[in-house]
């Protein structure tokens, strides 16, 4: 709720204007029956037709005024809701896109998506409804209570005794409702996750003929969500009728006690009648209030989920001590250790002391313009080095510096601008190839073309009908694995980065293309520091230094020749891979 | 940037309004007896609400009588009786109201459940192609947002409208009984309201459709960007993509504003029309009274009924925009449900069982787009148990071949035979069941490692899973995890590398015992030592099975029985490794390039 109020506050004037217009509209609406009564009770007996017509015209005028005021008020309310929901969504998007790897892992992708799609919508409808509901209900409630108290305090006492009960019901139900709706949204996350899993994995599901199994799995999640949703709806169905029930009992008490007091000669019967009218007003007010609270319960569960994302602290430079020494070292890893899941909510998967270190005590130095090859078995921590270097995750021990400055001392952007990176599971966006390479950086057209050339992508691009304007399908479905990888490399090269990181970026390329690509990069980007993670010895053998890893540890470091001499595992791998031309 | 419409799938033409309504009601029909029961409850509850004031009035009447007689003369027993009646009526009507709102919420949620179920089952029947062209986020938006809008509207609006209609009709009859001349004074409001509603519906319906579509586009974009978040961060493009999102966001906000600010003109305008009616009754009634046509009593009871008449109409007109948005949202769900499904099996098709694994392609032509052929006149033959390797530069059409073999896409012309029968004569299901497949893009779902490996075989035992993991050289890694095989893996989590994912999918395929096997760059991200060992396991697995292997590491495929060298969608060379090396052609140059 804090979130909604915070944003309402930002637009307090606009919200107040909408509320005031609504107030005027409501008043003019209430005016109509009074005019009608006036005509029937006061004017008709006098028999003057012109006066009847005059007041009749008044009614028309009031009806028109009422319509315009209400339309205007609705429009303003919708406008405010539209501004506020735009701002909340924008803030949510901007925050989500900035989450660090750890933070992102903790929320999980499907949950972030459903916060964006479903929760932001719940908040938007609440903002709109609150502006129109907040007027009528309190007005009727407060007005009714005041007038009733003035009329006969003893009868009004019945009312006053009941109010705390009503408040208690509202508070109790909304206290119950918020966690229920939080749970509904959490189960929606699961539904969204399964949808996504099946959409992205449709080929595997179909290939293994697991459609029925998946359907059953989905039904389970769907049923669970529905059951929870029904629970929440059941709780939400309680307060309206229950409060009405209390009020109606109060009404009966008013009639009975009223009659008793009439019998005692303390009040006139007319007072009871008037009381009934005001009681009705109060009932309507209370019902309106309960609707407001129900809306709030649902919205605040969602608002809280959005708030959770928004209040994540961004990791900003830790030590701002600038030690710009003009160092010749592009990248330095100094006794770095790291394990995934530290500080994450998913402790159970990495429980306690047994947790495997993804990296332990890794040290190396790359001088500017030099290159480093990283090689080692699957899951040995190669990609983790990139994750830490680019500050997606924080090392547990040791320090990492780029250009002689600790990575934590950089402003995040400043740090990342130095890199051109191709990830193992990098992504082609649904956009033109040109845009996929340029990636919104507005590098020159020449740079895009050169990058495509160096990445060996020019050939296939020029064969496409639309060339660089070829539209990639969702997640690059209309490109082959190798084509995608070449686009990634072109993207990484386009802005002429200081440090180029290629994480297994040629796994889907044939040897020749791979070799040509490396040659082109070497020739056209001689000053670029290169970090290359690969499976093939042939890819890394020409690097200045090679880091051989196993199980998070460094088991060999040096040039190809040195490693052939000193590192048994490297030598073995080399023999297997290189074979010979038979 | 592509046009905004591209993300929502612009091929989908909105259907007419009536059909969306009909189809939503169709879902409701499953609960028709319940809905009917709730309707009756709701009517009884309303009657109770009307009776309550009556008893109250009678009680007050008794008090008044006693008041006139003097202090202490009120018949308190009678008052008590009336108040008890009043309490009974009120309490039962409140309980009925609770039952109705509780019951309708239940019905609406079950309808939503059914719709989600239908959408999911539909997705399972759709061709792979659909998912290559539609954003996951847009589909998710239909499931989470659109269905929610429909269900919210169902839970409150349906009963309200139905009971309102009854009240409106009842009061109108009463009004006619009280005074026909007075009815004539206000009767103009009925056709005017109806005409206005129809006019507004024409204007706002497309706006609400646009609103739903804009949300879908925005969600599609957000989903894509969240999925590629790491890449965006790596290039420090957060601001740029936030700005792009802002476009979708403001588009959605604008569509919402347009739809709702227009839709919400409805309520006040209908209110104004019925207020005009009231004014006409006031004026007309007065004139008629002065002319001696109606009595004062008639006028006041007429006014009471006319309030009962216009009240529900105003209420309906206030929620009518909810109904419009529910119809627009429903339309988007039905559009998805109306998409063409995977080609249904031929009538005379048979189950492919005990497949021997003889596969051949005969002059196959295929392209993803009608005007762009990827495979030209493609032919090959694989005997049972043969290992067929497919090599060639990227983009040559290797993965496309797999898409055709699995019938993810259908050939444009030509034929593919499995066990000497054209493969479209088998049921799709049985055909796919005979292939085990490991793809370039690994896919794991959120669940335990055990479940991920056992995925293809529902009744896999622990020993089987473990031996498959051992063969895929992933067992040791799994055992190092604190939870072993029960460790939960996440699609987006950092706790598992891509190579490990590939090994897990290989283990999965090993469990899935079939006579045909497809390996599309199955080990591309696995280190060579591990790969070699996995290869051994795969080879023993492949013994006697027909297998199709795509790989760039030529060491992987030099033992193949038959190598197809593909370039630009044509088979340029074929034969064994030795034969192809002797030819000194395209294959030779590919092979040589790894030593350059």
Q: What is the pLDDT of residue B73?
A: 81
Q: Which secondary-structure segment (H or E) carries B492? A: none
3-state helix, strand, coil in chain A (%, to 5): 70, 10, 20
- Say whether both B471 and B554 belong to one domain: yes
Q: Phi then psi for A278, rounded to 5 degrees?
A: -70, -35
Inter-chain CB proximity A195 and B90 less than 8 Å: no
The domain total for chain A is 2
- Say whether both B449 and B321 belong to one domain: no
pTM of the model as a whole: 0.83
| Model ipTM value | 0.84
Q: What is the pLDDT of residue B253?
A: 93
- Say whether both A254 and A299 belong to one domain: yes
Query: Is the pLDDT reported for residue B112 higher than 90?
Result: yes
Which two structure tokens, joined as six digits, stand for A470?
């070829």
CA distance A491 to chain B (A): 9
CB A538 within 8 A of CB A511: yes
CATH number at residue A451: 3.40.50.300
Which two structure tokens, joined as six digits, stand for A211?
């459609």
Q: Give alpha helix (H) positions in B126-265.
A: 128-133, 136-141, 147-178, 180-186, 189-227, 229-234, 238-263
Q: Strand order of the sheet with strand B421-422?
A: B375-382, B359-366, B413-418, B421-422
Tell me, yes or no, whether B81 lies in a domain. Answer: yes
Which two structure tokens, joined as six digits, stand for B521?
């760059």
Angle at alpha carbon of residue B69, lines to B66 and B74, rounded to 5°: 25
Scanning A280-339 for CB atoms below 8 A from B yields none
Among A310, A338, A370, give the residue marking a domain's end: A310
Segment A235-254 mean pLDDT: 86
CATH number at residue A237: 1.20.1560.10
Among B288, B303, B337, give the residue marking a domain's end: B337
CA-only gyration radius of chain A, Å:
35
Q: Smallest Cβ distance to A576: which of B229, B395, B528?
A: B528
Neighbour tally for B559: CB within 10 Å: 14
Neighbour tally for B410: CB within 10 Å: 14
Contacts of A38 in chain B (CB under 8 A): none
The proportion of chain A whose per-residue pLDDT surpasses 70, expressed as a percent, equals 94
Tell me, yes or no, whether B4 lies in a domain. Answer: no
Inform me whether the C-beta atom of residue A211 falls under 8 Å from chain B C-beta atoms: yes
Inform me whether the C-beta atom of residue A26 falls under 8 Å from chain B C-beta atoms: no
CATH number at residue B388: 3.40.50.300
Tell me, yes or no, whether A320 lies in a domain. Answer: no
Inter-chain CB proximity B525 and A424 less than 8 Å: yes
SS3 assignment, position A285:
helix
SS3 assignment, position A406:
strand
Q: What is the pLDDT of residue A228?
A: 93
- Say whether both B367 and B325 belong to one domain: no
Q: What is the pLDDT of residue B33?
A: 92
Q: What is the pLDDT of residue B306?
A: 84
Residues B563, B548: Cα–Cα separation, whole Å: 10
Tell me, yes or no, whether B8 lies in a domain. Answer: no
- Say whether both A238 and A293 belong to one domain: yes
- Say whether both B159 and B71 belong to one domain: yes
Scanning A75-94 for CB atoms below 8 A from B yields 75, 78-79, 81-83, 85-86, 89-90, 93-94
Segment A6-10 mean pLDDT: 88
Residues A203, B342: Cα–Cα separation, whole Å: 13
Q: Give the C-alpha distances (Å, rounded to integers) separating A154 from A148, A149, A257, B553.
A: 10, 8, 9, 94
Instruction: List, in order, residues 6 or more apart from A208 with CB less than 8 Å away.
Output: B432, B436, B437, B455, B456, B512
Tell me, yes or no, whether A104 lies in a domain. Answer: yes
- Structural domain span for residue A451: 329-346+356-578
Inter-chain CB proximity A349 and B495 less than 8 Å: yes
Summarize pLDDT for A404-453 with one digit per residue, the tens.
888 888 887 888 888 888 988 788 888 899 989 988 888 898 999 999 99
Q: Smallest Cβ distance to A201: which of B218, B265, B443?
A: B443
Q: What is the pLDDT of residue B250?
A: 93
Inter-chain CB proximity B394 and A509 less than 8 Å: yes
Residues A90, A82: Cα–Cα separation, whole Å: 12
- Say whether both B368 and B475 belong to one domain: yes
Residues found in chain B: 596
CATH number at residue B161: 1.20.1560.10
SS3 assignment, position B489:
strand
- Say whether both A335 and A264 belong to one domain: no
Scanning B547-586 for CB atoms below 8 A from A yields 552-555, 581
Inter-chain CB proximity B493 and A252 less than 8 Å: no
Question: Scanning every residue of chain B, which has its alpha carbon at the shortest distance from the alpha carbon of A213?
Answer: B458
Summarize pLDDT for A448-507 with one digit per residue, the tens.
999 999 998 888 888 887 889 988 888 887 788 888 889 999 999 988 889 999 988 887
- Say whether both A398 and A283 belong to one domain: no
Tell me, yes or no, whether B525 lies in a domain. Answer: yes
Angle at alpha carbon of residue B171, lines to A270 and B153, rounded to 5°: 105
b/e per residue B456-490 (b: at least 16 CB within 10 A):
bbeebeeebbbbbbebbbbbebbeebeeebebbbb
Residues B87, B81: Cα–Cα separation, whole Å: 10
Scanning A337-376 for CB atoms below 8 A from B yields 340-341, 346, 348-352, 354-356, 375-376
Residues B104, B94: Cα–Cα separation, whole Å: 15
SS3 assignment, position A574:
helix
What is Dmax (Cα atoms) for chain A? 121
Tell me, yes or no, whether B9 lies in a domain. Answer: no
- Say whether both A389 and A302 belong to one domain: no
The proportion of chain B whose per-residue pLDDT surpasses 90, expressed as a percent, equals 13
Scanning B240-259 for CB atoms below 8 A from A yields 240-242, 244-246, 249-250, 252-254, 256-257
CA distance A234 to chain B (A): 6
Q: What is the pLDDT of residue B67?
A: 83
Task: State CA B176 to chain mean position distance.
Answer: 49
Q: What is the pLDDT of residue A343?
A: 47
- Residue B487: pLDDT band by 50, 70, 90 thresholds? confident
Inter-chain CB proximity A56 and B282 less than 8 Å: yes
Q: Is A20 exposed, middle or buried (0-12, 13-18, 19+ CB in 10 A)?
A: middle
Tell me, yes or no, whether A324 lies in a domain. Answer: no
The domain total for chain B is 2
- Say whether both A286 and A176 belong to one domain: yes
- Say whether both A480 and A517 belong to one domain: yes
Which two structure tokens, joined as six digits, stand for B256?
């919402």
Tell me, yes or no, whether A317 lies in a domain. Answer: no
Tell me, yes or no, whether A316 lies in a domain. Answer: no
Angle at alpha carbon of residue B445, lines to B442 and B449, rounded to 5°: 90
Which two structure tokens, joined as six digits, stand for A485?
């990888």
Query: Is the pLDDT reported for residue A399 higher than 50?
Result: yes
Angle at alpha carbon of residue A223, lines to A218 and A227, rounded to 5°: 155
Summarize pLDDT for A86-121 with one digit per residue, the tens.
999 999 999 998 888 888 888 888 899 889 888 988
* Mean pLDDT, rounded, of chain A: 84
Q: What is the pLDDT of residue A356?
A: 67
Tell me, yes or no, whether A19 lies in a domain. Answer: yes
User: Residue written as tokens 């592009």?
Assistant: A330
Q: Smallest Cβ distance to A421: which of B63, B87, B234?
A: B234
Segment B130-149 mean pLDDT: 87
Q: Smallest Cβ distance to A441: which of B235, B435, B498?
A: B235
Segment B507-532 mean pLDDT: 81
- Say whether both A99 and A242 belong to one domain: yes
The distance in angstroms from the start CA to the end CA of chain B is 40
- Residue B567: pLDDT band by 50, 70, 90 thresholds? confident
Tell me, yes or no, whether B448 lies in a domain. Answer: yes
- Say whether both B178 and B283 belong to one domain: yes
- Say whether both A340 and A238 belong to one domain: no
CA distance B157 to chain A (A): 15
Q: What is the pLDDT of residue A325?
A: 58
- Say whether both A46 and A86 belong to one domain: yes
Summarize pLDDT for A56-79 with one digit per residue, the tens.
898 899 999 999 998 999 899 899
Q: Give the C-alpha distances (Å, rounded to integers) separating A321 from A115, A325, A381, A392, B159.
A: 38, 12, 30, 21, 67
- Say whether both B242 and B313 belong to one domain: yes
Residues B567, B375: Cα–Cα separation, whole Å: 10
Residues B590, B569: Cα–Cα separation, whole Å: 17
- Say whether both B311 and B227 belong to one domain: yes
Query: Is the pLDDT reported for residue B142 higher than 50?
Result: yes
- Say whether both B256 and B311 belong to one domain: yes
- Residue B254: pLDDT band by 50, 70, 90 thresholds? very high
Inform me whether the C-beta atom of residue B513 falls under 8 Å from chain A C-beta atoms: no
- Say whether both B44 and B87 belong to one domain: yes
Inform me whether the C-beta atom of residue B492 falls under 8 Å from chain A C-beta atoms: yes
Tell me, yes or no, whether A131 lies in a domain. Answer: yes
Residues A232, A179: Cα–Cα separation, whole Å: 9
- Structural domain span for residue B331: 17-337
- Say whether both A17 and A122 belong to one domain: yes
- Say whether both A227 and A365 belong to one domain: no
Tell me, yes or no, whether B2 lies in a domain. Answer: no
Tell me, yes or no, whether A57 lies in a domain. Answer: yes
Tell me, yes or no, whether B5 lies in a domain. Answer: no
């Amino acid at each position: 709720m804090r979130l909604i109020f915070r944003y309402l506050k930002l637009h307090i004037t606009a919200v107040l204007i909408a509320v005031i217009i609504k107030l005027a509209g409501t008043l003019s609406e209430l005016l109509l029956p009074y005019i009608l009564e006036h005509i029937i009770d006061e004017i008709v007996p006098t028999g003057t037709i012109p006066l009847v017509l005059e007041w009749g015209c008044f009614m028309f005028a009031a009806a028109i005024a009422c319509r315009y005021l209400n339309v205007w008020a609705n429009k303003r309310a919708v406008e405010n809701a539209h501004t506020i929901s735009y701002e909340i969504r924008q803030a949510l998007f901007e925050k989500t896109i900035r989450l660090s790897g750890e933070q992102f892992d903790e929320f999980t992708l499907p949950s972030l998506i459903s916060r964006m799609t479903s929760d932001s919508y719940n908040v938007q409808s609440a903002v709109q409804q609150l502006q129109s509901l907040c007027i009528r209900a309190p007005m009727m409630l407060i007005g009714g209570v005041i007038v009733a108290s003035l009329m006969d305090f003893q009868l009004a006492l019945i009312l006053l005794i009941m109010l705390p009960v009503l408040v208690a019901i509202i508070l109790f139900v909304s206290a119950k409702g918020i966690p229920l709706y939080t749970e509904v949204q959490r189960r929606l996350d699961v539904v969204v996750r399964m949808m996504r899993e099946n959409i992205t994995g449709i080929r595997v599901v179909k290939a293994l003929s697991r459609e029925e199994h998946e359907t059953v799995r989905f039904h389970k999640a769907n049923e669970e969500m529905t059951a929870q949703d029904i629970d929440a709806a059941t709780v939400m169905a309680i307060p309206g009728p229950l409060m009405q029930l209390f009020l109606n009992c109060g009404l009966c008490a008013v009639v009975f006690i009223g009659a008793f007091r009439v019998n005692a000669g303390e009040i006139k019967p007319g007072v009871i009648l008037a009381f009934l009218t005001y009681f009705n007003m109060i009932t309507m007010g209370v019902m309106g209030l309960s609707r407001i609270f129900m809306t709030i319960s649902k919205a605040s569960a969602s608002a809280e989920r959005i708030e959770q994302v928004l209040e994540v602290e961004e990791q900003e430079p830790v030590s701002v001590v600038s030690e710009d020494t003009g160092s010749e070292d592009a990248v330095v890893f100094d006794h770095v250790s790291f394990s995934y899941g530290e500080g994450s909510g998913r402790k159970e998967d990495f429980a306690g002391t047994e947790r495997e270190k993804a990296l332990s005590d890794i040290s190396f130095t790359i001088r500017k313009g030099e290159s480093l090859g990283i090689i080692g078995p699957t899951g040995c921590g190669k990609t983790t080095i990139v994750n830490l270097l680019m500050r997606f995750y924080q090392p547990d021990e040791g320090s990492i510096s780029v250009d002689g400055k600790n990575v934590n001392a950089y402003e995040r952007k400043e740090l990342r601008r130095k890199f051109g990176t191709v990830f193992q599971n990098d992504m082609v966006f649904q956009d033109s190839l040109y845009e996929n390479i340029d990636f919104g950086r507005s590098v020159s057209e020449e740079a895009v073309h050169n990058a495509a050339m160096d990445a060996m992508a020019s050939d296939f691009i020029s064969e496409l009908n639309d060339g660089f304007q070829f539209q990639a399908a969702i997640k690059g479905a209309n490109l082959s694995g190798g084509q995608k990888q070449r686009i990634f490399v072109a993207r990484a090269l386009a802005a002429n980065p200081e440090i180029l990181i290629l994480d297994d970026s040629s796994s889907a390329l044939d040897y020749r293309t791979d070799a040509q690509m490396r040659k082109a990069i070497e020739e056209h980007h001689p000053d670029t520091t290169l970090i290359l993670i690969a499976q093939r010895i042939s890819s890394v053998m020409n690097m200045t230094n090679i880091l051989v890893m196993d199980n998070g540890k460094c088991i060999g470091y040096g040039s190809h020749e040195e490693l052939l001499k000193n590192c048994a595992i490297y030598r073995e791998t080399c023999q297997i891979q290189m074979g010979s031309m038979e | 940037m592509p046009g905004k419409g591209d993300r929502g799938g612009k091929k989908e033409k909105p259907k007419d309004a009536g059909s969306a309504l009909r189809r939503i009601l169709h879902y409701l029909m499953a609960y028709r007896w319940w809905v009917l029961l709730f309707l009756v409850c709701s009517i009884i509850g309303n009657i109770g609400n009307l009776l309550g004031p009556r008893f109250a009035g009678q009680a007050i009447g008794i008090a008044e009588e006693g008041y006139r007689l003097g202090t202490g003369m009120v018949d308190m027993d009678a008052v008590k009786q009336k108040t008890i009646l009043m309490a009974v009526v009120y309490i039962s009507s409140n309980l009925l109201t609770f039952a109705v709102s509780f019951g309708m919420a239940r019905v609406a949620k079950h309808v939503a459940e059914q719709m989600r179920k239908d959408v999911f089952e539909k997705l399972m029947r759709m061709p792979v192609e659909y998912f290559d062209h539609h954003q996951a986020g847009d589909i998710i938006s239909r499931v989470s947002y659109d269905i929610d809008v429909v269900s919210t509207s169902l839970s409150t609006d349906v009963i309200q409208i139905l009971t309102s209609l009854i009240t409106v009709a009842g009061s109108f009859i009463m009004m006619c009984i009280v005074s026909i001349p007075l009815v004539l004074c206000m009767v103009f409001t009925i056709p005017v309201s109806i005409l206005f509603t129809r006019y507004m519906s024409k204007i706002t319906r497309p706006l609400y459709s646009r609103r739903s579509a804009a949300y879908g586009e925005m969600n599609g974009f957000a989903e894509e960007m969240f999925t590629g978040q790491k890449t965006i961060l790596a290039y420090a493009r957060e601001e740029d993509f936030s700005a792009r999102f802002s476009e979708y966001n403001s588009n959605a906000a604008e569509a919402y504003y347009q739809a709702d600010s227009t839709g919400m003109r409805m309520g006040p305008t209908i209110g104004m029309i019925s207020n005009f009616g009231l004014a006409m009754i006031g004026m007309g009634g007065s004139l008629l009274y002065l002319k001696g046509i109606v009595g004062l009593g008639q006028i006041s009871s007429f006014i009471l009924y006319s309030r009962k008449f216009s009240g529900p109409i105003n209420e309906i007109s206030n929620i009518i925009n909810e109904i419009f948005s529910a119809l627009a949202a429903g339309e988007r769900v039905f559009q998805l449900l109306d998409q063409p499904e995977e080609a249904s099996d031929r009538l005379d098709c048979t189950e492919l069982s005990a497949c021997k694994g003889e596969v051949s392609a005969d002059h196959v032509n295929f392209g993803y787009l009608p005007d762009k052929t990827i495979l030209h006149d493609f032919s090959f033959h694989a005997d049972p148990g043969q290992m067929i390797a497919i090599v060639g530069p990227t983009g040559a059409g290797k993965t496309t071949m797999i898409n055709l073999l699995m019938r993810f896409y259908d050939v444009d012309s030509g034929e593919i035979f499995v066990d000497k029968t054209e493969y479209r004569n088998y049921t799709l299901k049985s055909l796919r069941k005979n292939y085990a497949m490991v793809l370039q893009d690994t896919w794991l779902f959120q669940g335990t490692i055990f479940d991920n490996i056992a995925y293809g075989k529902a009744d896999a035992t622990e020993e089987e899973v473990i031996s498959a993991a051992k063969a895929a050289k992933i067992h040791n890694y799994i055992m190092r995890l604190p939870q072993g095989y029960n460790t939960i893996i996440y699609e987006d989590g950092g706790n598992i590398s891509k190579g490990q994912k590939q090994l897990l999918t290989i283990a999965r395929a090993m469990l899935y015992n079939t006579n045909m096997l497809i390996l599309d760059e199955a080990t591309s991200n696995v280190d060579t030592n591990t790969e070699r060992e996995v290869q051994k396991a795969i080879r023993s697995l492949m013994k006697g099975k027909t297998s199709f292997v795509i790989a760039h590491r030529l060491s992987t495929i030099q033992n193949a029985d038959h190598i197809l060298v593909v370039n630009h969608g044509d088979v340029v060379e074929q034969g064994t490794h030795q034969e192809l090396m002797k030819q000194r052609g395209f294959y030779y140059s590919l092979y040589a390039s790894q030593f350059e």
